[in-house]
Amino acid sequence: MFVYEKSKEEMMITNPKKGLVAFILDCIRWTLSGGVAYYIYLAILLVIMGAGIYAYGQQFQEGLIITGMSNIVSWGLYISNFTFFVGVAAAAVMLILPAYVYKDKDFHEVVIIGEGVAVGALVMCLLFITVDMGGPLKVWHMIPGIGLFNWPSSILTWDVLVLNGYLALNALVPFYILYCNYHDRKPVGWKYLPFVFLSIFWAVSIHMVTAFLYQGLPARPFWNNPLLGPRFLASAFAAGPAVIMMVLIAIKERTSYPIDTTIFFKLKRIIVVAAVINLVMLFSEVFKEFYTFTHHSLSAQYLFFGLEGHDSLVPWIWTAIALNIMGTLLFAFAPTKSSSSYLMVAAVSLFTGIWIEKGFGLIIPGLVPSPMGEVVDYTPSSYEILITLGVLATGVLVVTMLIKPALVILSRYKEGLKQPEADGL
Amino acid sequence: MDHGKKKDAPLKTADLLDSKCTRRSFLKGVSIAAAAGSAGLVTGGCGSVASSEEAKLKWDEFFKKNYRMMTQEEKDATVARLERLAKLQRGLDTRISTQEPLDNVLYGYAFNITRCKGYMDCVEACVQENNLDRQSKTQYIRIFEMDPGQLDPTSGDGKYYHEVPVEDKFYMGVQCFHCENAPCIKACPTKATWREPDGIVVVDYDWCIGCRYCMAACPYWGRRFNWGDPVVPKEEINTKQHYLGNRMRWKGVMEKCTFCVQRTRQGKLPACVDACPTGSRVFGNLLDPDSEIRFVLKNKKVFRFREELGTDPKFWYFMD
Amino acid sequence: MKILTLRFAFLLLPALMLLNSQLAIASQDSVLERIQAADQPFDNMQVESAHQLTVETVLAKESYQGGAFRVLARKDAISRYRCSVCHTKKTPQVRDGALITHGDIKINHGEGKNELGCIECHDRQDRDFLVDMEGQKIDFDHSYQLCGQCHFRPKRDWLGGAHGKRVNNWAGERVVMNCTSCHDPHSPAFKTKMPEAYSLPLEE
């Protein structure tokens, strides 16, 4: 069990007045300090990352032919996970909005954790895109000036802009706040608050733009419906806070950083509303596909019931719907004094359900049958799975590396506020 | 607070350096892969010793511009490099043309679904002419065996291999339709695919980053991706090539039917039209009122596939 | 205040996208509009590389919408031309002559009672020529005049370009295949055969 040793960390500080280098060094130290369980956790993550890097090396050498993708299912596990984790990233806004707009004190304590999760999710998204590209070294072709950037025609260019912008916002604002707190200063309001409000709008836009990637293609009738963008938002605001809740539970159980239980109830409320809306939208889509069955509904038939003997996704989607409903109900009817493990089960259930339904439960059926009516199954290859796991481990590591020092800095800052004389300001 | 003011200055550089702190592991992982990859790209493969001339050529090729942005000198230079690379890597003498589109020409295509008997001579001729990958059996053209009474290819069979024609079936061929309002051109984030003035939708293979968004956007399944390096037996490689057409591609780039740009800009028919034993394919200049394609459009009942999507393709179907 | 700015910002994104799409629609003519506007004749001969054809051709006796055109010759493909070498004024007196020389010809043209006989197309008096219903002699190179008597719809299409095939080029002088380039005149229907290629089942 990792035990947060306050005095040990304090003694490890290089020199609190020394600026950026000291800040970074201390962040590194705090990330690498911890008990045996923590080191095992880090080691597992690094091993998975290593396996992912090896598998990617093979993919870079041989080409994407070693994945399970084909000319029909041209987007697979990578883009599915990208789509899902953009939603998780967008969900940081669900903490920022109450914390800054409604000035909710409880949320203010944990907003940095939400931003850390957002940064980790965005890093995963960028990595997923990179491993999915056929020519990742040629990415400079998109830089306007030295390359050609097909903005505003191509929604992918919009996505490049909004994702990187959001990453900058979610990385720089907490960086500034933590940097100030590290130096026992209160962050100056006008320097970061406008960016916080910008990031609220931006969070909605990253997910709508990512939805528009698919929504704007009349070639793919499964995606080409106006509900896709709103559904993305609804499922993001259910799955994202579920992730944040999982992280908060982990922090509550494993560290001594104080997290008020009211935060869990407030998060739970957000999750329930979003999850219910998501289910309503899902039902709406299912009705449209199956009430009047057209050739456009073949994708939905492939997903839910199988088509021409190809039914590899059928068990997945039904499991996803079951998990979705179970998670929603568990959250909706949670007793007032719900334990951490109850909430964790509910969060994992909802997260997994949405991960399936919005990840490969959305991308693969959109591509099957092909525009010429051909049906194939898609099975990710072992390289593909290893690379995906590697990227996921990278994201988890990034989140750990951001949150662990952040917690130290925040608690030190709060201690400092309680005893201003002792810190010699 | 004096301390406060002094501390604020480093923040500006801190903004730049932020990426190192928070994205450390991302950079770590990607830089390892990128370093390995760049080394791999430049030296031509893990473990193999390529000549330094080949490495230099590849290095120069990596940094070139999009074809449309090149001056004629740059085009000549890249053609020279590509021809030299073909000689070094495959021992072949190729001629890569950069022929411009002809003036006042807009190519159009018509397909006679009464006459097509499903022989697939067109498919084979296209594979030979355009140096398509034999290993994955990439085919730009697909022929569907359809039941009469239905036009949707979902009801057709694209994978038949039996004596043709079968009684009571008709045959419909599809390929890239070279839309005037192509969704693939709109979708490409790097403008690696565009419509030339003579109507052909082309891909600059070296510019494509392999995101495959165009493939998701095409409603006709007209585009193909090179998942691995294409394999063509040396004696079957067509050495009369065009930069935007049938020159050798490699893994990670898109490709598609180009109406045989290496042939049509010289006034020749595309390989599929030339190969068809039943004369089901008609090709010509839509802006020439006396052309065969204009005769078909005027005198036959023609239709275009999925016209309601607004893609404005230049490929019509007709019946006798 | 901040909410208002937010709302305004929310509207900016869809407004920009709508604007972009409107511009896209307005800026180009559709294919059919361009075709309708293109009524000036196009000089096919300007495409210089389309000039070389090494096949035997004859000038067609009819014209198409673009004027005169050429047809692939046929006589050079008939191995025993000239027919009058054997078919003089007297009937050849060789036992089983028809079987020996022309035994490979199976007539499968016309169904049942309407099956064609040899002299319905071949001139009885002058075997070097074909003959039409009105007794007019037709050169082998211009067999389309004969075929077109009954098959007038394909002939009209062939003249215009919707039937048959051009030889090699879409530009330059128009050279088309004649009827017998594709259709065996004695058994004109296309045979069944195995396809030249097949398409893979696309799953692993």
Domains of chain B, start order: 2-97 (no CATH), 102-320 (3.30.70.20)
Can you tell me the distance from the alpha carbon of A148 to that of A141, in angstroms, rounded to the nearest whole number? Answer: 6
Edge-first strand order for the sheet with B107-112 is B281-285, B107-112, B315-318, B302-303
Domains, chain A, with CATH or none: 8-411 (1.20.1630.10)
Structure tokens of A135? 């020519």
> What is the structure's pLDDT at B19?
42
Across the interface, do A152 and C20 touch by the CB < 8 Å criterion?
Answer: yes
Both structure tokens of A202:
């931006």
Gap between the Cα atoms of A175 and A187, Å rounded: 11
Listed as ranges, residues in chain C with pLDDT below 50 are 22-26, 203-204
Residue B76 neighbours by CB under 8 Å, 6+ apart: B98
Interface B-C, measured as beta-carbon pairs within 8 A, has a size of 166
User: Mutate which of A58, A178, A374 to disrupt the B interface (most B C-beta within 10 Å)?
Assistant: A374
B118, B180, B279 ranked by CB distance to C30: nearest: B180
Interface probe for C, chosen from B103, B221, B280, B290 (most Cβ of C below 10 Å), is: B290
3-state secondary structure of C122: strand
Among C24, C163, C193, beta carbon nearest to B279: C163
- Beta-carbon contacts of A188 under 8 Å, excluding residues fewer than 6 positions away, are A180
Q: Can you tell me the distance from the alpha carbon of C43 to that of C47, in angstroms, rounded to the nearest whole number? A: 8
Pick from A170, A168, A191: nearest CA to B11: A191
Q: Do A152 and C204 touch (CB under 8 A)?
A: no
Q: In this predicted structure, what is the pLDDT of residue A7?
A: 53
SS3 B282: strand
- Are B7 and A298 an interchain contact pair (Cβ–Cβ within 8 Å)? no
Is A64 close to B227, i.e. CB distance below 8 A?
Answer: yes
Buried b (16+ CB within 10 A) or exposed e, C102-135: eeeeeeebeeeeeeeeeeebbbeeebbbbbbeee
Contact between chains at B25 and A219 (C-beta distance less than 8 A):
no
Contacts of C191 in chain B (CB under 8 A): none
Q: In this predicted structure, which of A345-359, B119-133, B296-310, C190-204 has the lowest mean pLDDT? A: C190-204
Would you call the peptide bond into A369 cis, given omega within 30 degrees of 0 as the criterion? yes
Interface check for C204 against chain A (CB to CB < 8 A): the answer is yes
Query: What pLDDT score was predicted for residue A9?
Result: 52
Q: Are A222 and A238 in contact (CB under 8 A)?
A: no
| Residue contact C170–B285, C-beta within 8 A | yes
Q: Is the pLDDT of residue B235 over 90?
A: yes
* CA neighbor of C28 nearest in space, from B179, A218, B187, B264: B179
The lowest-confidence range among A329-343, B9-23, B94-108 is B9-23
Whole-structure pTM value: 0.88
| Residue B11: per-residue pLDDT | 38
How would residue B1 be classed by pLDDT, with cut points 50, 70 and 90? very low
State the virtual CA torsion across C181, C183, C185, C191 in degrees, nearest 10: 140
Nearest to A247, CA basis, from A76, A83, A112, A84: A112
A155-193 burial, b at 16+ Cβ within 10 Å, e below that, comes to: bbbbbbbbbeebbbbbbbbbbbbbbbbbbbbeeeeeebe
- CB hemisphere CA count around A23 (13 angstroms): 25
Q: Is A340 helix (H, G, I), strand (E, B) or coil?
A: helix
Q: Are B112 and B320 in contact (CB under 8 A)?
A: yes
Q: Considering only CB atoms, which chain B residues are within 8 Å of C24?
A: 186
- What is the C-alpha separation between B248 and B160, in angstroms, rounded? 29
Residues of chain A neighbouring B146 (CB-CB closer than 8 A): none
- What integer is the mean pLDDT of B199-211? 96
pLDDT of residue A168: 92
Q: How big is the A-C interface in CB pairs under 8 Å?
A: 28
| Chain B partners (3+ C-beta pairs within 8 A) | A, C
Angle between helices A360-367 and A189-215 (to 10 degrees): 40
Asked if the C-beta of A200 comes within 8 angstroms of chain C's C-beta atoms, the answer is yes
pLDDT category at B46 given cuts 50, 70, 90 is very low
Where chain A has pLDDT below 50, the residues are: 1, 423-425
User: Which amino acid is located at A351 in the chain?
Assistant: F
Q: How many CB atoms lie within 10 A of CB B256?
A: 21
CB B264 to CB C170 under 8 A?
yes
How many angstroms away from the CA of C190 is the closest CA of chain A? 28
pLDDT at B14 over 50: no
Rg of chain B over all Cα atoms, to the nearest angstrom = 24
Interface residue of B171, B291, B305 to substitute, partner C, most C CBs within 10 Å? B291
Task: Judge whether C154 is closer than 8 Å to chain B, CB to CB.
Answer: yes
Best mutation site among C170, C173, C174, C176 for testing chain B: the one with the most B CBs within 10 Å? C170
pLDDT recorded at residue C161 = 94
Amino acid letter at A2?
Answer: F
B173 to each of A384, B109, B143, B215, B256, how far by Cα in Å?
Answer: 34, 12, 4, 19, 15
Distance (Å, whole) CA B283 – CA A372:
23
Check whether B100 has a pLDDT greater than 50.
yes
Place of tokens 């230079």: B77
Distance CA B296, CA B187 (A): 32
Chain B contacts in chain A segment 230-289 (CB below 8 A)? none
pLDDT over 90 at B7, yes or no: no
Inter-chain CB proximity C13 and A71 less than 8 Å: no
Q: How many Å is the Cα radius of gyration of chain C?
A: 29
Dist. CA B169–CA C115, nearest whole Å: 26
pLDDT at B196 over 70: yes
Give the Cα separation of A126 and A107 in Å (integer): 28
Secondary structure (3-state) at C57: strand
Instruction: Check residue A311 and give its pLDDT.
Output: 92
Q: Do A374 and C203 touch (CB under 8 A)?
A: no
Which among B32, B187, B209 has the least Cβ separation from residue A138?
Answer: B209
Output DSSP code: residue B164: B
Q: Is A154 on the interface with B (CB under 8 A)?
A: yes
Spatial CA neighbour of C183 closest among C157, C147, C153, C149:
C147
Of C2, C5, C13, Cβ closest to residue A205: C13
Q: Give the minimum alpha-carbon distance from A245 to chain C in angstroms, rounded to a whole number.
A: 27
Q: What is the mean pLDDT of residues B75-104?
A: 94
What's the number of CA atoms in the CB half-sphere (13 Å) around residue B10? Answer: 17
Beta-carbon separation of B295 and C160 below 8 A: yes
